[in-house]
Structure 1
């Protein structure tokens, strides 16, 4: 019987864990209900339910499964005692490598990810990992067709990158799993590169770095408002537009429209599990969607159908802008160039598309779909 977290139980998870992974662990390991998690984070239960289902589907991935098992073991063991006045605890047992002494913090992940993601952006580059390999490697083919190892990756770093959706496996059942960089991984590389440029110009925020390295206490759920946005500003154009105001002083994008775009993105991430990470979605708004895999999970198939239905309803133009900005995380300027639109017109088209997408969801399944429970 699982015990609901309370004042007497203070399991902590590292702060760098994505929100979806935190929700999955708290729900599966500590027994907190989906509705309680949703109330604590001011979102609808269907959002948390999709996050839990997505992580459960991805347990076939050896890096994802290994990371979740390690985090579950750490949560069961409980945090170590810390002297009074020592400040917030940091994870003193690296994820997936309990014998090492260096903690796995956001700073360390960013430092390693800079070189790894750059290598994965090279043509034909993949990250190879196997259960009997102590570390992963990034390989690519050279001009003669031979496999060239470009860098080695600590296993716990590879697991953290997989949890963050920076890399994805096209065939989890293979003996040697091959991982490709995702659109989220490319966005993370752009963000890290921008941070390097800011640091070189003297605009380094050390307080924000320290905050990212602190642990996340699940007991504090419900007591503190989650002020941070769901996605980083550089990851989704919706976040930046949500802060802007029109001529009348009203928000350019309402909270409901931002939630609509995030819902499409969550369905898109699940749909990728049904088609493979390497499948191309660029022409999906024109009806040229990737083919479903024969062994796709039912939840991934349902998400695939929802994405195809939404894009078909929007049609070319409106479907293209929500696909590129909400799902593929493409910037508005790049979308305008790709579509041949005039400058600063993309945000207007995006708002119209999100409004039409919200009506599509309302007409087909209500605001949030079927009620849970």
Structure 2
């Protein structure tokens, strides 16, 4: 696949995806067109396209049938990955950012356009300062990372328990099926919710974890317009204090002025 996908590339990709359904029956229309049939599905292509796929080792062809060659599987994966990457580059906001991965900072390519939290990071307040301080943004990303490691998205129930698949008698289920890292992450998420409180945690979960937009949150919760970002800011500031609690200064007790010593009474028996 070239950097700029051509019309013939798209035709080849579409044909190979059709062949991936299984062996297809060929219906020829003269020397210029071929119809591929798989069950009730039908796909018409130029006959030269199928011949090209055979010559490149992407397809095999008999007299009245054709099928996908093993080499085409890798071709399809690579082509689809390049197409998705091109779409993201065109419609996304790709930057490099440092994220905490299993306790270690790693530099990743991040699509900031997909996150409502990232869009809020560009907002300014009346004084020109960032609407969300760095500590609040870091807290939101920390919550999202824990939420992802806890395997709470996208299949989440009201009781915060995973949906259980069918299992035979004697097998473990529920929390016992989770890895230790996922269990620890769930504990971290629950503690974060407690730190924010029931009034604020809902907005943080909706926006940072479920990736809902501000307008969606306001509509679902029947909040006034432009109130969701204020609730989110308050929630993330509280969460930032939970993740990085301020240090308490040691209390110094003064007995008196400098040089002062209390009088001690001698007790005689």
More helix by share: 1
Question: Relative contact order (alpha carbons < 8 A, sep ≥ 6): 1 or 2 greater?
Answer: 1
More strand by share: 2
Task: State TM-score, norm by structure 1.
Answer: 0.36
Greater Rg over alpha carbons, structure = 2
